[in-house]
Amino acid sequence: MADNLGLKESVSMALGGMIGGGIYAVLGVVANITMSAIWVAFLAAGIVALCAGYSYNKLNSLTDNQGGSVTFVQCYLGNSTLAGIVGWTLLFGYIGSMAMYAFAFGEFSAAFGIIPGSVLEVPTRPLISVLAVAGFVGLNLLGSRTTGAAENVLVALKVGILVVFGLLGLVYAFGFSGAQFEYGVSHLGGFDPLMAAAISFVAFQGWQLLYYDQEGIENPVDTIRTAVYISIPVAVAIYILVGMVTVNLVPQALTSHPHVALKDAASLMMQPYGLAQLGAVILALSALFSTGSAINATLFSSAYFAKGMLGDDILPDQIGSADADGIPERTVIVLGAITGAFTWFGGLGAITSFASLSFILVFGSVSYLAVRQRDHDEVNAVIPAIGTVGALAFFPLMMYNLYTREPNTFYMVLGIAVVVLAVELLYFERDIIKEEIEKFEPDTGVIDEHN
């Protein structure tokens, strides 16, 4: 048990999976839709995520604490193919999230201005992103205790810096700016806040990965339940604080270069103290801590998730061994390699949108499964019902936003979904397909002598 994760490490893993590239990559898009009503979007997304967390906890306690999205679908719907499709969809969602985090890591590294734009005619941003993924693959291969300790440090640094950023931003806004602090009352009408909430949903995934780590967590039932109920509200509070400060201080930066807008806000708020450059550097370092810990936490937990899928014959054996002690090393390497390829070559906007949609679908489905268990005294049906309705609202709003504002991304997301679904069906229905093919093969057997 010495290598198992405790509450502190579990909270760090959950926060590391949420407060990562999402706050940097998603903030600009959300702010451009809601402006100073950004707090409504993050609050709505957080409420749906928290309702899903409640649903996960309740279903986990009803399935002998061996839960997870795939297990829940298999247990309560009895459809192994559907369970497998959910598993593959989530795994691609996690890979897309890690690619997004790695992309942001590379962008903020380049934002320091001391790294050349290219090395030997190779762009440095994708090169840095791939090297970051490779580094965290190596870290995960060292074991869970090393990974958990590193996550504690990274999360403490990034949360501390973001909280100080938000507080100093409030000081500047109310003490030095002279401009009225906007709360977005004029933007509360219509569907824009909910549409923005749907887009931001990818920033609220990560906590559910704890359910796949249960063999590596001390007292997993109580530890995971507490970690989920701590991490989601903390993430919501930090997103709202950082989002409101950034929107009020540097609204123009969110339009011109949204991925590094927080760096501009940090520079502005430190001007009265003569530390503008230092503020920008510290915030950029925070971005590296945030995106790095998000890669670390997601890779660690998604490898455990893949291990469970291997045990259920949902993934091919070439991916890794379900009998491995801890996380399968081959699985970590494969996930890292695919993530590296996506962050280098992939259309990141499409991958990120697909990831967000997959989490909306799965979280909504798990909430619905919890509603179906309302006959159990320990299940309050109202909470998972809110999660179900919220997800049902988010999905069409997300698709509508992509179709009207980013049609190319919309069609790319559809293309990715079709390819993933086709590969899934080919894998899960491989025996049936083989039987059908064999029907059309010529009979090469020995002719019966009695005929």
pLDDT per position as a tens digit, 22-48: 677 678 778 888 888 999 999 999 999
Q: Compare 95 and 121 and report the one with higher pLDDT.
A: 95
Does residue 1 surpass a pLDDT of 50?
no
Summary mean pLDDT of the chain: 82
pLDDT in tens, 294-319: 788 788 878 888 888 888 788 888 88
pLDDT digits (tens, 9 = 90+) for 46-67: 999 999 999 999 998 888 756 6
- pLDDT surpasses 90 at 237: yes
The predicted structure's pLDDT at residue 90: 85
pLDDT digits (tens, 9 = 90+) for 125-149: 889 999 999 998 998 887 655 555 6
Please give the average per-residue pLDDT across 199-203, as a whole number: 85
pLDDT at 451: 46
pLDDT of residue 443: 54
Give the pTM.
0.82
pLDDT in tens, 76-86: 888 877 888 88
Q: CATH: 3.40.50.300, 1.10.620.20, 3.30.1330.10, 1.20.1740.10. Which one for 7-434?
A: 1.20.1740.10
- pLDDT band at 367, cuts 50/70/90? very high
Q: Does the pLDDT at position 421 exceed 90? A: no
- Poorest-pLDDT segment among 213-217, 232-236, 345-349, 394-398: 345-349
* pLDDT, position 148: 59
Give the 3-state DSSP-derived string for the chain, with helices as H, strands as E and coil as C. CCCCECHHHHHHHHHHHHCCHHHHHCHHHHHHHHHHHHHHHHHHHHHHHHHHHHHHHHHHHHCCCCCCHHHHHHHHHCCHHHHHHHHHHHHHHHHHHHHHHHHHHHHHHHCCCCCCCEECCEEHHHHHHHHHHHHHHHHHCCCHHHHHHHHHHHHHHHHHHHHHHHHHHHHHHHHHHCCCCCCCHHHCCCCHHHHHHHHHHHHHCCHHHHHHCHHHECCHHHHHHHHHHHHHHHHHHHHHHHHHHHHHHCHHHHHHCHHHHHHHHHHHHCHHHCCHHHHHHHHHHHHHHHHHHHHHHHHHHHHHHHHHHHHCCCCCHHHCCCCCCCCCHHHHHHHHHHHHHHHHHCCHHHHHHHHHHHHHHHHHHHHHHHHHCCCCCCCCCHHHHHHHHHHHHHHHHHHHHHHHHCHHHHHHHHHHHHHHHHHHHHHHCHHHHHHHHHHCCCCCCCCCCCC
Residue 441 has pLDDT above 60, yes or no: no
